[in-house]
Amino acid sequence: MKAYDTVIGLEVHAQLLTRTKIFCGCSTQSGLPPNTSTCPVCTGMPGTLPVLNRKVVDLGIMLGLATGCRIASRCIFARKNYFYPDLPKGYQITQYEHPLCEGGTILIETGQGIRRIGITRIHMEEDAGKTIHDDKAPSSYVDYNRSGVPLLEIVSEPDITSSDEAVAYLRELRQILMYLGICDGNMEEGSFRCDANVSVKPAGSSRLGTRTELKNMNSFRNVQRALQYEIERHIEIRESGGEVVQETLLWDPSRSVTASMRSKEESRDYRYFPEPDLVPVEIDTAWIDGVRSGLPELPFARRKRFIEQYGLPAYDAGVLTQAKTVADYYEECVRLLDKPKELSNWIMTEVMRVLNEQGIPITGLNVSPKMLTGLIVLIKKGSISGSMAKEVFAEMAATGESAESIVEKRGIGQISDEQELQSLAQEIINSHPDEARKYCSGKTGLLGFFVGMLMKATQGEANPKLASRIMKELLEG
Amino acid sequence: MLETARQYRRCKKSPVEKTRAFLEKIRSDTFNAFITVDEAGALQGAQVAEELLKSPDAGALAGIPVAIKDNICTRGVRTTCASKILSGFVPTYDATVVKKLKEQGAVILGKTNLDEFAMGSTTTSSIAGPTRNPRDPSRTPGGSSGGSGAAVAAGLCAGALGSDTGGSIRMPASFCGITGLKPTYGSVSRYGLVAFASSLDQIGPMAPTARDAAVLFDAIKGYDPLDSTSVPRDYGPTDLDGIDLKGLRIGVPEEFFGEGLNQEVKAAVQSGIAVLEDMGGRIVEVGLPHAGYGVAVFYIVATAEASSNLARYDGVRYGLRVQDPLDLGDMYARTRATGFGPEVKRRIMLGTYVLSAGYYDAYYRKASQVRTLIAEDFRSAFSRCDIIAGPTTPVTAFRLDEMIDDPLSLYLLDIYTIPANLAGLPALSMPCGFDSLGLPVGMQLMAPHFREDLLLGAGISFQDRTAYHQEGS
């Protein structure tokens, strides 16, 4: 088999977290009863007109700046014409010839190091409603609550060379959107959706192969599997002397295959033209600067800074910066207690475990950074052992109480009373004469056995270091 | 209109009485001016107006019975656009202009007839049947606001609203011998006007006189946050005393007096211009070299926008839906085939064609460029003159049984009115004489953006001096 290069371009639709829709005042809240968040404008009643929600432009500029795009000084909306019941006007208001942002970059980390993926354009548009088919009834239903919810469409350059890179790009883009707080990134619920254009060509060739378009990939795993399937399908066709047909395909996750949705001949002519109901959006530098001043540090930069500033391993930095809220939590902890690696360990293990168990974001955690560092201070002071601290933490997460008050209430301070420990230790040595003899004759490895017995006798509340010293002194003395 | 307002204030008549009288007259209307008469709503409005009139602050429109073209949405009152496809459609909201009229106490009598979706110049393609011209019932009132034109000319209302995309206010005003104003694009909210061609549509007043048209215009103009193309600016009231024409430079473009213009119309318009000159106006020759492309540009831009604007009539949410469709495609196809009339279908197809891949540059883009050239023509003309005068239409009202069935010839009726829409300029049509059959001839005045004051002012002064607007009916 010959070697092939894969060429992938991705189109992402990100639902924006504005309070109201892009062209009317209806709420964008999801999960409401059908058609309750609608008005004459977003249901396309005759005579109604769109009015642009300026917040959508703000958020679009924000993403443009975060990905190094040029922000248009003047951008215009266009109509994309097609018929479908969930599209109430018979056209979608989107952008075509003059989008909001062009020419940006997203950096991704791959096995071969850092790669730049170009962003062709970012534009604003409205979402459609939802068609609900009832298999038992001869009719279908339409819910227009989603109609007019603002979207950003982010189109990448065909710079992506593998399914893994595609996923890395999507993860990075999703993370940026979530860092900016402009999209919740939920793929299953469709607030972060992705279509792909795929082709293969002989390795090194400059001539692009025929591409196919892939839709319906609603998880990173499905994106990876669908693209891998499609790449292999293209190669197989070429190897057997066939030709790839330009078409749009749907990924079928249950059968793990792609299936044709429509051919090139059936492709729609959307008859784009400038939207006459909206005036061009003029964006001056003051507007852009205003948005820029509110930009947070982006994931890629923050990861780098965590490694340099806190001396964290790349792995830790990656995990901690995955979500902005977690990174913020971590940095607040470090500010309160200068133990970067120890805090990282705690957050990556105990904190994350509780978040997973409770299915909550870190902002919903009962344990504030101040409370977590308070717990770690107790360990440092030797008041409680590390293993006990984990139990205390679980209780903090369950009840919201501070470490100090839990330790006090349960009376689980470590036993640091030397006399008490000494008498307990002596009892243990007396009741294990054989082991004591062996220790004295050189089997010093038995110290662990004795310390363990002591810990057991104190139900784990003995200060382990103290327990070890006392045991050693008694055995050797 | 102003006389009625004075009568109300002297308590000589009451809005309820006046409204009853109009409703009575509408009941015996033989011109088919209305599609829907809202008797209950009108009487209710009249009662509200009586209360309003107790306050000295009541505006000139309080208690004045008006009619609304049936492509402007009225809450709770069906709005048909004269089309089968909107059968049963009752808007849940008032158009901004309707809201404004109601707030000022105007009484809304009902909804007037039009060409289906305002596409036409004869008011004959309506599901409600054709409207007849009160000046001569065997003739067309013009279109597409023919119902409003006929209602005003027949005295079935004190004034009316029409909409003008390529001449739909001015042409019926001309044919019916009344005054009609197509305002500057962006000066009257389009919110609630069922769109034909969004970049050209504008709502405007139709009334017996320029003074009444000014009162109506003042009531509906202004910035509307619900219409992004409406222009925020200071809209002062129109001076109802008219303007002094002394020294006013009146541009007369030779392009408006060439081939195709009926000689009697030409003579009447020239005599009208002579009156303006006699009143102190100074005649200036101006050129509009690209105006001749107006009709071609219009039928690309307007149909393109219409093909998209009319896509929402798909049988899914409101209006007509055919029974027992085989599938979604069949529902769309049959609903639209049944619901739209031939002229609307023709324009949807034309518009779809000019926007299609491979044709966009040759048609839509080119037309948009020529549109800019036409606007440039006006800009340079208005550097030499204050207003432009010419005919509104090349002919007077023609007989319904001599209806031209060649669409192209019908399209050419709009040759003098279309340029103002393409350039977004205000334009007024008012009676300036009669042809040998006694049919009214309209003179069109055009002005720079937002200079309706010049048009209405010149119109008021002209009508204070002439009687064309009172004669003939």
Q: Among B90, B251, B68, B50, which residue's Cα sits nearest to residue B148?
A: B68
pLDDT tens digit string along A349-392?
Answer: 999 999 988 888 898 899 999 999 999 998 888 778 787 889 89
pLDDT tens digit string along B304-350?
Answer: 999 999 999 999 999 999 998 999 999 999 999 999 999 999 999 99
The terminus-to-terminus CA distance of chain B in angstroms comes to 18
Q: Is the dihedral of CA A320, A325, A331, A335 positive or negative?
A: negative
Inter-chain CB proximity B311 and A83 less than 8 Å: yes
Domain stop point among A244, A263, A288: A288
| Closest approach of B256 to chain A, Cα-based (Å) | 29
Inter-chain CB proximity A47 and B194 less than 8 Å: yes
Structural domain count of chain A: 3
How buried is A87 (Cβ within 10 angstroms: 0-12 exposed, 13-18 middle, 19+ buried)?
buried
Q: State chain A's mean pLDDT as an integer.
A: 92
Q: Are A323 and A362 in contact (CB under 8 A)?
A: yes
Query: B55 catalytic, yes or no?
Result: no
Chosen for mutation from B307, B310, B314 (greatest number of chain A CBs closer than 10 Å) is B314
pLDDT tens digit string along B157-198?
Answer: 999 999 999 999 999 999 999 999 999 999 999 999 999 999
Annotated domain spans of chain B: 1-473
Task: Please name the amino acid found at residue A371.
Answer: M
Q: Are residues A58 and A145 in the same domain?
A: yes
pLDDT tens digit string along B34-84?
Answer: 999 999 999 999 999 999 999 888 889 999 999 999 999 999 999 999 999
Inter-chain CB proximity A90 and B308 less than 8 Å: yes
Which residue in the list B144, B230, B429, B461 is annotated as catalytic? B144
Chosen for mutation from B229, B300, B316, B355 (greatest number of chain A CBs closer than 10 Å) is B316
Inter-chain CB proximity A47 and B73 less than 8 Å: yes
Q: Are residues A205 and A270 in the same domain?
A: yes
For residue A415, what pLDDT is reported? 63
Confidence of residue A416 (pLDDT cuts 50, 70, 90): low
Domain stop point among A362, A387, A410: A410
Q: Are residues A210 and A251 in the same domain?
A: yes
Residue A134 has pLDDT above 90, yes or no: no
pLDDT tens digit string along A232-281?
Answer: 999 999 999 999 999 999 999 999 999 998 887 777 899 999 999 999 99
DSSP B400-447: GGG----HHHHHGGGTTTHHHHHHT--EEEEEEEE-TTS-EEEEEEE-
Distance CA B362, CA B364 (A): 7
Name residue, tokens 């919740």. A184
Inter-chain CB proximity B356 and A269 less than 8 Å: yes
Q: Are residues A241 and A317 in the same domain?
A: no
| Closest approach of B231 to chain A, Cα-based (Å) | 10
Average pLDDT over every residue of B241-265: 95
Q: Are residues A278 and A350 in the same domain?
A: no
The proportion of chain B whose per-residue pLDDT surpasses 70, expressed as a percent, equals 99
Which one of B73, B316, B356 has the shortest CB-CB distance to A142? Answer: B316
Query: B69 catalytic, yes or no?
Result: yes
Average pLDDT over every residue of A406-416: 71
Distance CA A60, CA A100 (A): 7
Task: Please name the amino acid found at residue B108.
Answer: I
Q: Are A85 and A142 in contact (CB under 8 A)?
A: yes
Residues of A in contact with B93 (CB under 8 A): 40, 45
For residue A109, what pLDDT is reported? 81
Average pLDDT over every residue of B254-258: 94
How far is the CA of A282 from the CAs of A21, A73, B199, B245, in angstroms? 20, 6, 19, 40
Inter-chain CB proximity A51 and B305 less than 8 Å: no
Q: Among A405, A382, A381, A380, which residue's Cα sits nearest to residue A392?
A: A405
> Which of 1.10.3720.10, 3.90.1300.10, 3.30.70.141, 3.30.420.40 is the CATH number of B1-473?
3.90.1300.10
φ/ψ of residue B345, rounded to 5: -60, -40
Q: Are B181 and B60 in contact (CB under 8 A)?
A: no
Burial A20-49, CB ≥16 within 10 A → b, else e: bbbbbebebeeeeeeeebbbbbbbbbbbbb
Distance CA A209, CA B99 (A): 59
Q: Are residues A114 and A234 in the same domain?
A: yes
pTM: 0.88
The proportion of chain B whose per-residue pLDDT surpasses 90, expressed as a percent, equals 91
Q: Among A224, A245, A225, which residue's Cα sits nearest to residue A234?
A: A245
Q: Dig out the tokens for A398 from the structure.
A: 């369950």
The contacts of residue A384 (CB under 8 Å, 6+ apart) are A378, A392, A407, A412, A413, A414
Confidence of residue B254 (pLDDT cuts 50, 70, 90): very high
Range with the poorest average pLDDT among A51-65, A107-121, A457-471, B332-346 = A457-471
Q: Among A157, A124, A141, which residue's Cα sits nearest to residue A22?
A: A124
Average pLDDT over every residue of A142-147: 97
How far is the CA of A114 from the CAs of A6, A106, A296, in angstroms? 18, 10, 22
Average pLDDT over every residue of B390-409: 87
Q: Are residues A352 and A386 in the same domain?
A: yes
| Closest approach of A330 to chain B, Cα-based (Å) | 46
Residues of B in contact with A279 (CB under 8 A): 228-229
| Closest approach of A51 to chain B, Cα-based (Å) | 6
pLDDT tens digit string along B11-38?
Answer: 888 999 999 999 999 999 999 999 999 9
> Model ipTM?
0.96
Residues of A in contact with B193 (CB under 8 A): 47
Which residue in the list B83, B148, B168, B307 is annotated as catalytic? B168
CATH number for the domain including A472? 1.10.10.410
Q: Are residues A134 and A217 in the same domain?
A: yes
Residues of B in contact with A273 (CB under 8 A): 304-305, 308, 355, 360, 364
Q: Higher confidence at residue A472 or residue A202? A: A202
Confidence of residue B473 (pLDDT cuts 50, 70, 90): very low
HSE on the CB side for B134, CA within 13 Å? Answer: 25
Domain hosting residue A446, numbered range = 418-476
Q: Among B435, B317, B309, B297, which residue's Cα sits nearest to residue B372?
A: B297
Q: Are residues A260 and A321 in the same domain?
A: no
Distance CA B385, CA B387 (A): 6
Residues of B in contact with A51 (CB under 8 A): 225-228
| Closest approach of A72 to chain B, Cα-based (Å) | 20
For residue A414, what pLDDT is reported? 63
